[in-house]
Amino acid sequence: MINLLTLSGTELAKMIRHRMVTSREVVKAHIEHIKKVNPLLNAVVKDRFTEALKEANLADSKIRDYPIEALPPFYGVPCTIKEHFALKGMPNTSGLVHRKNNISITNATVVERLLSAGAIPLGVTNVSELGMWMESNNEVYGRTNNPYDRKRTAGGSSGGEGSIIASGGSPFGLGSDIGGSIRVPSFFNGIFGHKPTGGLVPNTGHYPTTEGKAIRFLTSGPMAKHAEDLWTILKIIAGDDGKDKGILNYTLRDPKEVRLKDLTVLNVTDNGLIPVSDELRFIQQKAIAALSHAGAKISNVQLADLKDSFFIWASMLSEAGGRSFKNMMGDGTDINVGLELTKWMLGFSNHTLPGILLSFVEDVPKLLPNITKEFVQKGENLKKEMKEIIGEHGVMLYPSYPEVAPPHNKPLANLYHWMYTAIFNVMENPVTQVPLGLNQLGLPLGIQVVGSHGNDHITIAVAMELEKAFGGWTPPKYLKYHI
């Protein structure tokens, strides 16, 4: 018997389209599963189960009115949406107490496009406060747990998405990424995630948003149990909406066009500053070997400026301008960092400790303008270097994080570790996060596949190849549910 919770959205859509299963059956199976696992995970923070079942019934009642080829790609398929995106009738707090009563009256562009493709949202998922930390924890909804070990973080800021997708509660969803917020939770939760090329997907309807030069550092993209869904979703959500001023005219090409034997794979083992665990180094070499076996040419490379990833990222973000983090934390009024830190220590603050600390850290580049300019220039030089060495027919394999999903709160002691992902936001490269099985503790392993601007199809093609070699998403045994 086919278990609906294990299938990709693409496969579920095919089954619905050919009437092998009804949309209601698929939606109901995922709802019932979420009801079982979500009390352990706190991943879905507001559901729309009643509405979703009505929409599934409507999809089933209308399916005979259309020829199979006329049905949209995700007709009748359930999904989940990160709470940062506006979804009509759902909260859009971004984890801020100031916005706890904020209910969306419109849909974000990417949400609207996914709805037009036939998808049925089951609810919205947890985030970090304002999306600027790698633990999905806030004073509105609380903390999300990792389905492979509830004592460990699910990552952030799309941690709710990563957790519920990995647990089998949703085949795919929407995340966003300004420093690794798609890739880190995808890695920690053992699923696929894609950070698109900067300027490929509009962020209209996402809160918070970015402005000026930083408008392409924030990217919205897909997260999924299976790699094939990444491409289908990317095609749906990409392209100008007439509202996002950062959109560039990239022509999407097809992963099916990519031939591994024509591909050069750059093997970059670390950033030269923060060591990577032996098990992640080992799995990266296994991934390199698998791509070599498939015909790709391998080149071992070290990029010296990657050791300055934090200062490059912070400087380029600061230089880009726009609203400050502390201003958004106060919902239009700068928070008093010292006061909020004192209130937090006394247990009275409406903000999380990472949010308060980041409000302080963001001012550092402004105090050192000459050094900031130096690192902005380093960033521009690194962008050119990466474009040259990756080229039009290459990818770069690079660690996602120095270790597997850490225990809750540990990331606060390792403030620079997320620079393994953040550097590619200011570089604006497309990056696909790929799961590579589990370690001896049953925790996900994985790798980032980095491409040149506009070559999202190549990174996803490599992800598909690695899925064949390593098996892709592995259901977590920790929850002891029947998948």
Q: Are 174 and 110 in contact (CB under 8 A)?
A: yes
| Active site (annotated) includes residue 324 | no
By CB atoms closer than 10 A (0-12, 13-18, 19+), residue 395 is buried
Choose the catalytic residue: 82, 225, 326, 383.
Answer: 82
CA dihedral sign of residues 292, 282, 313, 209: positive
Choose the catalytic residue: 23, 136, 157, 315.
Answer: 157
| Active site (annotated) includes residue 225 | no
Q: Are 9 and 23 in contact (CB under 8 A)?
A: no
Count of other CB atoms within 10 angstroms of residue 66 = 12
| Active site (annotated) includes residue 82 | yes
Peptide bond just before 157 cis, omega within 30 deg:
yes
* Both structure tokens of 306: 């990657």
Q: Are 185 and 231 in contact (CB under 8 A)?
A: no
CA dihedral sign of residues 462, 465, 469, 474: positive
Peptide bond just before 67 cis, omega within 30 deg:
no
Choose the catalytic residue: 23, 104, 136, 181.
Answer: 181
- Please list the active-site residues: 82, 157, 181
